[in-house]
Amino acid sequence: MKKLAQPIILLILLIITTSCNNNSNEVVVYTSVDQIFSEPILKEFEKKTGIRVKAVYDTEETKSTGVLNRLIAEKENPQCDLFWSGDPVRTIVLKNRGITLPYQSTIAKDINVIFKDSEYHWTGFSARARVLIYNKNLLKGADVPKSIFDLTKKEHKGKVAIANPLFGTTTFHMAALFTAIGDEKAKQFLTDLKKNDIVIATSNGDVKKRVIQGEVSCGLTDTDDAYEAIKEGANIGIVFLDQQGIGSLIMPNTVNLIKNSRNLENGKKLMDYLLSKETEAKLAKSCAQMPLHKGVKIPNNIPSLDNIIPMKIEYGKTSQKLEEIQNYLKEWIEN
Amino acid sequence: MDRKLTEQPLYTIMFLSFLFFIVIPIIFTIGTALFVDGSLSDNLHLLDIETLLLLTKSSIIAFVVALFSTTFGTALGFWLYKTTVIFRGFFKIALLIPLFISPYILAVAWKDFFFYTFNNISIISSYMGVILVLTTIFTPLSMLIIGSALSNINSQLEETGLVLTSFRNIILKIILPLIKPALISSFVLVFIFTVSEFSVPAYFGVKVFTTEIFTQFSAFYNHSLAILQSALLILICVLLLFAERKHIADAPFLSIGGKGTSRKFYSLKNWGMLSQLFIFNWFFISVVFPFIILFVQSFKSGTTKFIQAFELLIPTFSNSIGLAFVGALIIVFVGFTAAYHTASKIETKMKKSFDWLLLIVFAIPSTIFGISLIKFYNQPIFDFIYSSYAIILIGYVGKFSFISAKLIGNAIKQIPNSLDEAAQIQGVTSFSRLQKILIPLILPTLFVAFIISFLFSLGELGTTIMLYPPGTEIMPIKVFTIMANAPQTLTSSMTLIVFSITLLIITSFYFLAKPFIKNYNYNND
C-alpha cells in the first residue's frame, strides 16, 4: 500500500497545482466564431494589453453546442467573462435566460443603434450577409437567381442547397424572412422550396462545398464562407439577393459580458477591443466581414454595407420569431 | 460498513471515488432534469410514437452495423489469428487504425472519395453510407475481440476434432460454439457504439435518435427533454448488456495472450488466396483509401498548408499526449481494481455494483455525460477540479474504464486458480500474490488495456469539447474547431497529421510491447 500511496499523492498534488489559476490578469472568452478567424484577434489583444486570454472555441459546424450549452449549464457559477458570437441569435438566447450583463461601450458609439440591444446586453460589430453562391460552370447570366423566391422556380429543381434551418445563421435567415414577409407567405415559400427538392446540407460550409463541387448549382450561405471559397480559387459567384425587394439579411457579430463573471474589468477591455475599428479592419481582411463603424479601411473586394439594401428587421423581435417557428421548421425538415 | 470491505481498502476507496466523482454527477443531473425541473411531467408526452419509431430506426441501423462488423471481424479474426496468412502481424496492427480515428474525419474522407470517384454522393449520404462507414470503423473492434477469443482456444480440442471430422465441422461444431460469447460481446459492444454515434449520421444528413437528442440540445436548448431521450438510449444499452451478462457471464472478452494454452494454426491451402485478397482489400478500403484522399487533398497545392497545419497543432501535442497518458494510467488502475475484485471469491454487495456502474456510465451519450459533469462540478467548492485538467481526466475515466475492466477481467479469469491457491498455502500475503503472481501474468493485457485507453482518450471529442478548461489546447478539439471555414487543404493536412500521429503511436506501442509479450510467452512455454 505504501508503494501505491506515493503515486496517488503525487497525482493529487499535480491536479491541485494545475488547478491553482487565481490569476487576475486574465480574461475568459467563449466564442462561436471560427477559431481560424477569432484566435488571431484574441492573440493580438493579449499582445497589446498583457492580459492573458483564455479561450474556449466552438464552431458553427457543430452548431455551437459546446459553448452555448456550456454557458447555460454554468449559469449559477460562470467561468466565462465574455461571449463573442458570430450572430445575434445565441446572444439573445443568453439574454432571455438572464446570463448576460449590460455594458454600454463608448467605443461603439458610432455603430448604428439597430445593431445594439436596447438595454445594451449585447453590441454588434463586423457584419456578415446572407448571400447566394453559384457555380459559374453551371449557372450563367440571366439564369442566376436574383431573389430568394427565384429558388422555387422549376429550372432550379433539386439544384439548390441550404443548411439545416434549425441551426446557426440559416435559422436566423428563416426567422428574418417570416418577420419580413409574414408567416403565411414564408410558409408558402418553404413549402414551394420543399416541392422543388431543395437539398438540406449539414452546415453553411457544407453548402459551400456542394456548390463548389457542382453537386448543386447554387446555395444560400454567409459572406465569409463565400469569400473564403473564392480565396481558395473556387469558380463561384456571389449574389446579394433581393436588392430590388426585401433586401439581404445582415448579421453582425455580437459581444456581451456574462453576469457575475470573475474578471469583469478585463472583460470590458476585451469587449472594447473587439468593438474597435482595428478589429473590424482585421475581420474584413481575414474573413470578408463588413465593418459597422464608419471609415474603416477594407480591402477593395469586400462589399460595403453602404452599397447593400438590408432586410429591415429588428434583431430582438426576429429572435422572438425564431422561437415561435422552430417547431414548424423541424416539421418542415422532417416531412 | 461490511467487514469484508474494510479488508479491501484500495477497492473500497476506488469504488467510492468512482461513485462520487463520476456516478453521482450523472444521477444528480438526470434526477434534477427529470424530477426537480419537471421534465418528466412536462416532456413525457413528447416521447410519442415518432420518437419510438426513430429509436427503432437507430436500433435497426445499429443492428445491421453490429451484424456486419461481427461477421467481417470473425473472418478477419480467424485469418489473422488462426491461420498462417502472410503479413498477419502487420495487418493485426494496421487494420486497427480506423478504430482510433475520429468517425467524423473518416466520414469526410469517404464522402470526398465517393464524390471524386463516382461524381455522386447520394449513395454515401444515406443509411447505406452510415452503415458502410460505421462498419469499417467498428470491424477492427470485432476482429480484436473475436481474434483474441480464437487465440485462446485450446489446440487439443481442435486437433482431436481434426482426427475425427472435417475442417468445416471443426469450424461449425468446435470453434464457433467456443467463441460464441466473444461473438455476442462483439455484437453488443458494436451495437452500443453505433446507437450512440452522432457525428457520422449527422454529417451524412441521416436522422437518427442521437441527432434528435442533439437537436433538442442545440436548437431548442431543451436539456431536460434531451436527457429524458438519452435515458431511453441508456435503458436500451443497459438491457442489452444485462442480457449479455445473463447469458455469457463468464465468457472471455477481449482477452490478450495465450495464458498457458498452446495455439493451433491452420494452413488455408485453396482458400489462402481468397482470404489474402479479402484482407488486402479490407486494408485498402478501410485504411488506404481515406489516407490517399487526405494525402492528395493535403498536398495538391504544395506543402505550405501542411506546414501551417503542423504549426497549429504543435501546441496541442504535449497537452493531449500527457492527458491521454495520465488518463490511460488511471483507467487501467480503475479497470484492474474493478476486475480483480469482480474475479475474486470474496462476496460483497459492492462487487457487482462496480461492474454495473462502469457499464452504465459507458452507455451514456458523450454530451449528456459532459453536461452532467458541468452541472455537478461547476460550483465554487469544486473549482479546483472544474477549472483544471482533472475534469478532462474524470471524463476519460468515466467513458473508458468499462472497456479496461472487461479486458483485464477476462485475463484474470484465465489464470489458473491453482497458482494462487499454492501460494496461499505457502502463507504468501495477498499483496505479494498480487505483485508476484497475478500482475506479471497479466502484464501484456495491462499493457494492451493501457494502449487502447490511451488511444481512445487521445481521440475523445464529444465529452472533452464540453469540458476543456479555457485556454487549453487539445488536439481533437483544435482539429474540429479549425475545420470550419479553413481551406480544404488545411483541414485535410490537420487530419493527415492526426492520422499519422495515431499510426506512429500505435507502431511505437507495438514495438514497446513486443519484448514484454515475447518474454511473457517464453515464461509460459
Structural domain spans, chain A: 25-127+250-304, 128-249+321-334
CB-based contacts of B3: which residues, under 8 Å, 6+ apart? Answer: none
Q: Do B378 and A79 count as a contact with CB atoms less than 8 A apart?
A: yes
CB B518, CB B512: distance < 8 Å:
no
First to last CA, chain B: 45
Calculate the average pLDDT of chain A: 89
The domain that holds B360 is classified in CATH as 1.10.3720.10
Q: Quote the minimal CA–CA distance from B55 to chain A in Å.
A: 15
Q: Which of A28, A72, A167 sits opposite B470 (nearest CB)?
A: A28
Q: Is the pLDDT of residue A107 over 80?
A: yes
The amino acid sitting at A281 is A
- Where among B299, B321, B340 does a domain terminate? B299
Are the beta carbons of A65 and B380 separated by less than 8 Å? no
Residue type, A174: M
How far does A299 lie from chain B, in Å, by closest CA? 19
CA angle, corner B156, sides to B155 and B160, nearest 5? 120
Phi and psi at residue A196, in whole multiples of 5°? -90, 15
Say yes or no: B398 and B319 in one domain: yes
Cell of B60: 435497426
Are residues B360 and B229 part of one domain? no
pLDDT at position B518: 63
Q: Does residue B266 share a domain with residue B389?
A: no
Which residues lie below 8 Å from residue B168, measured CB to CB, with a gap of 6+?
Answer: none
A25-127+250-304: CATH topology is: D-Maltodextrin-Binding Protein; domain 2 (3.40.190)
Note the CATH architecture for domain A128-249+321-334: 3-Layer(aba) Sandwich (3.40)
Q: Which residues from chain B sit within 8 angstroms of residue A84, using beta carbons?
A: none
Q: What is the pLDDT of residue A65?
A: 59
In a domain, B34, yes or no: no
Domain that holds residue B272: 47-299
- Which of A25-29, A128-132, B501-505 is least confident? B501-505
- Residue B197 region by backbone torsions, left for phi larger than 0, else alpha for psi between -120 and 50, else beta: beta
B51 touching A (Cβ < 8 Å):
no
Q: What is the pLDDT of residue B397?
A: 96
Q: Are residues B229 and B357 in the same domain?
A: no
Does B464 touch chain A if contact means CB atoms closer than 8 Å? no
- Is a pLDDT exceeding 60 seen at residue A21? no
Q: Is residue B480 part of a domain?
A: yes
Same domain, B375 and B256: no
User: B residues 134-153 near A, CB within 8 Å?
Assistant: none
What's the average pLDDT block by block, 10 residues per block, for chain B (525 residues)?
55 88 88 69 68 90 96 92 84 84 80 78 86 94 85 76 79 83 86 87 86 81 79 83 67 49 68 86 88 83 87 91 94 91 67 79 82 88 90 94 84 74 78 80 82 87 86 86 74 84 80 67 45
Write down the pLDDT at residue B383: 87
Same domain, B184 and B209: yes
Entry field: residues in chain A = 335
A68 touches chain B (CB under 8 A): yes
**Contact yes or no for B481 and A35 at CB 8 A:** yes
HSE at residue B236, side-chain half, CA atoms within 13 A, is 22
In this structure, are B277 and B322 located in the same domain? no
pLDDT at B349: 60
Residues from chain B that touch A64, judged by Cβ atoms under 8 A, are 218
Determine contact: A46 vs chain B, CB below 8 A. no
A128-249+321-334 shares the fold of A25-127+250-304 = yes
**B470/A70 CB distance under 8 A:** no
Please tell me whether the interface predicted TM-score (ipTM) of this complex is above 0.85: no
Check CB contact under 8 Å for B384 and A15.
Answer: yes
Closest CB from B9, B330, B485 relative to A34: B485
**How many other CB atoms sit within 10 Å of the CB of residue B334?**
26
| B32 found inside a domain | no
- B440 inside domain: yes
Q: Is B218 on the interface with A (CB under 8 A)?
A: yes
DSSP letters spanning B211-270: HHHHHHHHTS--HHHHHHHHHHHHHHHHHHHHHHHHHSTT---S--S-TT-----B--GG
CB proximity list for A159: less than 8 A, separation 6 or greater: A138, A216, A217, A218
Same domain? B266 vs B314: no
Q: How many angstroms separate the CA of residue A5 from the nearest CA in chain B?
A: 10
What is the model's pLDDT at position B3?
43
Average pLDDT, integer, range A17-41: 79
pLDDT at B1: 39
**A16 min Cα distance to partner chain B (Å):** 6
- For A334, B75, B172, B253, B269, the CA distances from B180, given in Å and listed in that order, are 40, 14, 11, 11, 26
Same domain, B16 and B107: no
Does B365 fall in a domain? yes
**For B385, nearest residue in chain A (alpha carbons):** A19
Nearest to B470 among A34, A54, A58 (CB): A54
Name the domain count of chain B. Answer: 2
Decide if B263 is inside a domain.
yes
Same domain? B396 vs B436: yes
In chain B, the residue whose alpha carbon lies closest to the alpha carbon of A20 is B384
B389 close to A (CB below 8 A): yes
Convert the pLDDT of each residue in A229-265 to its tens digit: 898 889 999 999 999 999 999 999 999 999 999 999 9
Answer whether A19 touches B (CB < 8 Å). yes
Is residue A269 within 8 angstroms of chain B, CB to CB?
Answer: no
Question: Is residue B209 located within the same domain as residue B286?
Answer: yes
**Cell numbers given for B25:** 454527477
Which pLDDT belongs to residue A43?
96
B203 in contact with A, Cβ within 8 Å:
yes
Which of these three, B235, B264, B299, is where a domain ends?
B299
CA-only gyration radius of chain A, Å:
22
Interchain pair B9, A69: CB under 8 A: no
Nearest-angstrom CA–CA distance, B191 and B66: 5
Closest CA to B468 of A70, A63, A259, A40: A70
Q: Contacts of residue A215 in chain B, CB cutoff 8 Å?
A: 115, 121
Question: Which residue type is seen at B239?
Answer: L
Distance set, CA B179 to CA B154, B185, B406, B510 (Å): 12, 10, 16, 25
Chain A residue with minimal CA distance to B301?
A232
* B218 and B129 within one domain: yes
Last residue of a domain, one of B266, B299, B332: B299
* CA B506 remoteness from chain centre: 15
Chain A residues with beta carbon closer than 8 angstroms to that of B393: 15
Residues of B in contact with A288 (CB under 8 A): none
B386 touches chain A (CB under 8 A): yes
CA dihedral B188, B194, B197, B198 (to 10 degrees): -150
pLDDT at A56: 92
**Does a structural domain hold residue B41?**
no
Partner residue facing B466 (CB), from A18, A70, A326: A70
Chain B contact for A64 (CB, 8 A cutoff):
yes
Which residue in A159, A165, A169 sits closest to A218, CA to CA? A159
Report yes or no on B472 lying in a domain: yes
pLDDT at B100: 72
**A267 interface with B at CB cutoff 8 Å:** no
C-alpha cell, A1: 500500500
Relative to beta strand A26-31, strand A52-57 is parallel
A201/B223 touch (CB, cutoff 8 Å), yes or no = no
Cβ-defined contact of B10 to A93 (cutoff 8 Å): no
